[in-house]
Amino acid sequence: MSAAEWRNAMNAGVGRLAMGKPVKAPALQVKPHAFQSPIGLRHVVVLAFLLAFPLYATPFLTFQIGAQSLALGLVALSLTFLGGYGGMVSLAQMTVAGIAGYLVAILGASASADTSISLGWPWWLAVLAAVIVATACGAFIGWLAVRTEGIYMIMITLAVGVAFYYLCLQNYSVFNGFQGFQRVKAPTLLGLDWREPVLFYYLVLFWSLAGYLFVKYLIRAPFGVALQGIRDNPRRMNALGFHVTAHRVAAFAVAGLIAAVGGVLLVWYNGLITPNSVGTSWLINVLIIAVLGGLRHPIGPFIGAIVFVLLQTFAIDLIDRERFNLVIGAVFLAIVLFSPDGLLGLWAALKTKFSTPRGGLK
Amino acid sequence: MKKRTFVRTLVGAAVLAAFSGVAYSQQTVKIGLLATLEGPFAAGGADGMRGAELAIKQKNGMAGGRKIELIKASSDAKPDVAVNATRKLVEQDKVDIMVGPLSGGEGIAVKEYSKTQPNITFINGSSGAQATTLVNPSPNFFRFNTEGAQWMVGLGKAALDKGYKRVMVIAEDYAFPYSQVQGFMAEYCRLGGKVPVKAWVPLGGKDYASVIARIPKDVDALVVVLGGADAVNFLNQYEAAGGDKPMVGGSITVSQDILNYKGKRRDSLVGTIAGSPIADAYDAPEFKAFVADYQKNYPVSAGGYPSPSLFALVYYINMKAALDGLDAVKGDLSGGQAKYREALQKMTLKTPVGDVRLDANRQAIGSTFVTEVVKDAQGNLFNKVLRRVDGIDQMLGMKKEEFQMGSRDVPSCP
């Protein structure tokens, strides 16, 4: 059965969601092997650009633009995976990242007004535990949310996220309340300080690439194909013998793992974590990043994150200092208005329009 | 096409902005200014910027023979946002001196960041957390304003003078109110006052019913350390619940928005005492000149306040310190700004509310006011100065060994 036939068969199903105009979902990919597709010129160009970036950029650009974009992109990637390939929009991905960040601070070393909270475990143990627990939390949030769909799932995950925010804000014995934790530092390993801008950039780049390739692989693996089937027609997949709920919870666990790694990198990037790091604005920012880039491909969240961070950093230089949020809002609005598929959709539309055969850029 | 051009223009502009921070003449001194133009303290942040700009205007944009170039940035009272904005000013815009931020949590985070930039001098904006200069102080972070606990000195005695022997504390649950409550209680408890109950409420809370229900019958007054909208909400609900206890206010509690409060309990606000680094009715000539200058430059029609706020005053003081320091070294910032820092450390700063010196942790030793709400002939409420307390250091006059930083449970005298 070809991909097109498969999709037609799915779309003809009785359980088709009647949700107005659906977001254009990524095409179902059923190629059996992950790395079968040839490595194109554009992959080489982008990778070379990313690897060489710190060589010609200032430490500021490397750290604040490069590293921050990639770390945020990694968290948003978890949402792209859930939303684009699982059809589930979760607002709690920053919460999962925040759980990982908090655990790194609590189990590892930090300085706060009350330093007795941090347990001072070795960093690798703290990070390992943080990622495992956060992944479990991600799966648990999924287990709570997967029985609902659409706007109800958004509401449940938002509620979980806001509840965690208030827990952090008001619990003093574990989360240290409003103050959170300061000086959560990336470790020194092999005699190198991984908080140095260039090294930290490569650390984040490594994990971002790992996350990207992991998602690329997964969406072509049987699990990912089944997930996309569930996204397109859960009732038919159920009839075919797939355990829909289990697949969805597993997808949340995978997304939780990606978000947890992103969360550890973010807490090292910021060097601190406070309840604001998991507040409502960040829950929604992750969605903005994912939608901005486009949900149709795992590269989308990274592109979205770059645009987001560039705007956050430089919008204030473009316009009157008191009004710079207007620029940010206007650009987001323009992108979403002109291209519901985000920047990737914009690119695809332009490519079709001018149908130039070159393919250098993303 | 239009869309593409738009996006390209934007990206182009962003790239230009990114690389414009390279070439600079030796003549100008770049000062970065960070305040909250977004979030809960947006109004205060805008007024803080007015205060800082006023200090530069008064010197015609020159200090130590060099022209001042001001580069502003905004945060939203979140520590991570404040550090990102500061990092941009320091590493991208290459400022020589950094003034900011506004709130306590931000101040601690920016102080931590300042340690990674030993060649830049950081001067506080208006953040008032005790820990900023008490715990792990940074050698290049200076604070020329007194902080939350210092602002409350003198209030404990004033409360006892009013006959309040037992009080309940109602305060927001974060660093700044902890400091404020400590500043009050350190003195109040020492002089024999009792605080049987402390209620810590979340910042931005809307419902105070449970707190009001916990107010014991036998307390003489309520110490209310809540900011703007929180204070108004509390007052409304306390009035609706039939409460009649007098109030003692924190530094940002009895501000103009509270005095404009229109409820039935309005008259009961008369007699409310508070501690604050600024008092609208203070009649020293320097302060009157400052207020007149503020009003001239930022009339109400141009978005200013009728009278400068606490944030305007404190940002003004810190920016003035930065400029006076430049004057003292004649604009010499060489050698990693060593001379400049020495000048700051030794300086006796003239401010509209009295002289300020720095202690060994680069924290201000200065004056504060005890104020009382009174009604004028037209029936308007305003803050009268009861007492000015001078020379308050961060230890609040205690010995280093017996001083404990304010927290939820410290100090305690039930």
Domain that holds residue B201: 150-276+368-392
Residue A14, pLDDT > 60, answer no
A272–chain B Cβ distance below 8 A for any pair: yes
B75 and B132 share one domain: yes
Are the CB atoms for B164 and B221 separated by under 8 Å? yes
pLDDT in tens, A291-341: 888 888 888 899 999 988 888 888 777 766 566 778 778 888 888 788 777
Question: Which chain A residue's Cα is nearest to B105?
Answer: A179
Whether B14 maps to a domain, the answer reads no
- A298 inside domain: yes
Cα–Cα distances in angstroms (integers) from residue A65 to residues A258, A310, A314, A330, in the given order: 20, 7, 10, 21
| Contact status of A114 with chain B (Cβ, < 8 Å) | yes
Higher pLDDT: A360 or A132? It is A132
Final residue before a domain boundary, out of B344, B362, B380: B362
What is the tens place of the pLDDT at every residue in A197-252?
888 899 999 999 999 999 999 999 999 999 999 999 989 999 999 999 999 999 99
Q: pLDDT tens digits for B83-110?
A: 989 999 999 889 999 998 998 888 988 9
- Domains of chain A: total: 1
Q: Nearest CA to B319 among B276, B290, B360?
A: B290
Q: What are B267-301's pLDDT values in tens digits?
A: 778 888 999 988 888 889 999 999 999 999 999 88
Q: Are residues B252 and B373 in the same domain?
A: yes
pLDDT, mean of residues A23-32: 54
Q: Chain A: residue nearest B173 by CA?
A: A178
Residue B409 has a pLDDT of 83
* Cα A144 versus chain centre, distance: 20
Tell me which of B362, B384, B401 is where a domain ends: B362
Is residue B310 included in any domain, yes or no? Answer: yes
Mutate to test the interface with B, among A170, A171, A182 (most CBs of B within 10 A): A182
Question: Of A230-234, B8-12, B227-231, B408-412, which has the strongest mean pLDDT?
Answer: A230-234
| R_g over Cα of chain A | 21
How big is chain B, counted in residues?
A: 414
Domain assignment of residue B21, yes or no = no
CATH number where B107 lies: 3.40.50.2300
Contact residues, chain B, for A271 at CB < 8 Å: 83, 109, 112-113
- Using the beta-carbon criterion (under 8 Å), do A113 and B405 form an inter-chain contact? yes
Does B348 reside within a domain? Answer: yes
Global model pTM greater than 0.90: no
Which of A58, A272, A313 lies nearest to residue B80, judging by beta carbons?
A: A272
List CB contacts of A106: < 8 A, sequence separation 6 or more: A117, A118, A119, A174, A175, A181
More confident residue, A353 or A137: A137
Claim to verify: residue B380 and residue B234 sit in the same structural domain: yes
- Per-chain mean pLDDT for chain B: 86
**Does the beta-carbon distance from A274 to B18 stay under 8 Å?**
no
Same domain flag for B196 and B212: yes
Of A60, A170, A322, the CB nearest to B87: A60
Asked if B179 contacts B149 with a C-beta cutoff of 8 angstroms, the reply is yes
Inside any domain, residue B12: no
Residues 6+ apart with CB under 8 A from B86: B32, B34, B73, B98, B100, B101, B110, B113
Confirm whether B40 is domain-assigned: yes
> Could you please report the per-residue DSSP string of A281-298?
HHHHHHHHHHHHH-TTST
Q: Quote the CA–CA distance of B223 and A331 in Å, as a whole number.
A: 47
DSSP category for residue B143: B
pLDDT digits (tens, 9 = 90+) for A78-104: 999 999 898 899 999 999 999 999 999
- The answer to whether residue A190 scores a pLDDT higher than 60 is yes
Burial of B247 (0-12, 13-18, 19+ CB in 10 A): buried
**B238 and B383 together in one domain:** yes
| Residue in B with minimal Cα distance to A271 | B80
How many distinct structural domains can be found in chain B? 2
Kindly state the tokens that stand for A162. Answer: 């806001």
User: Which CATH number covers residue A181?
Assistant: 1.10.3470
pLDDT of residue A34: 44
pLDDT averaged over every residue in chain A: 82
pLDDT tens track for A120-151: 788 889 999 999 999 999 999 999 998 888 88
Say whether A58 and B105 touch across the interface (CB within 8 A).
no
Rg (C-alpha) for chain B, rounded Å, is 22
pLDDT score of B344: 92
Residue A362 has a pLDDT of: 44
Same domain assignment for residues B141 and B164: no
**Residue A76: which pLDDT band, with cuts at 50, 70 and 90?**
very high
Percent of chain B past pLDDT 90, that is, above it, reads 43
Whether residue B286 contacts residue B380, with contact meaning beta carbons closer than 8 Å, is answered with no
Determine the straight-line distance between the first and last CA of chain A, rounded to whole angstroms: 30
Q: Which helix (H) or strand (E) holds B53?
A: helix B42-58
Q: Does residue B403 fall inside a structural domain? A: no
Mean pLDDT, to the nearest integer, of A46-57?
A: 85
- Pull the structure tokens for residue A98: 């925040």
- Whether residue B219 is contained in a domain is answered as yes
| Residue A33 in domain | no
Arithmetic mean of pLDDT, B40-64: 89
Residue of B nearest to A173 (CA): B408
A 10 A CB-CB count for B153 gives 24
| pLDDT top residue among B9 and B197 | B197
Residue A160 domain boundaries: 39-354
Tokens 């005890």, residue located: B370
CB contacts of A317 in chain B (<8 Å) are: 17, 20
Percent of chain A with pLDDT over 90: 38
Question: Coil, strand or helix: which one is A189?
Answer: strand
- One DSSP character per residue, A101-167 reads HHHHHHHS--B-SSTTS-----HHHHHHHHHHHHHHHHHHHHHHHTTS-HHHHHHHHHHHHHHHHHH
The secondary structure of B297-341 as a DSSP string is: HS-GGGT--SS--HHHHHHHHHHHHHHHHHHHTTT--HHHHHHHH
A280 in B contact zone (CB under 8 Å)? no
Alpha carbon distance A236, A257 (integer Å): 28
Q: Residue B20: is its pLDDT beyond 50?
A: no
pLDDT for B22 beyond 50: no
Amino acid occupying residue A134 = A
Q: How many CB pairs under 8 A join A and B?
A: 101
Res A20 pLDDT > 70: no
CA B159/CA B157 separation, integer angstroms: 5
Task: Give the other-Cβ count within 10 Å of B348's Cβ.
Answer: 9
Q: Residue B323 has what pLDDT?
A: 93
Cβ of A113 and B18 within 8 Å?
no
Residue A14 inside a domain? The answer is: no
Element (H, E) at B19: helix B2-19
Same domain, B154 and B257: yes
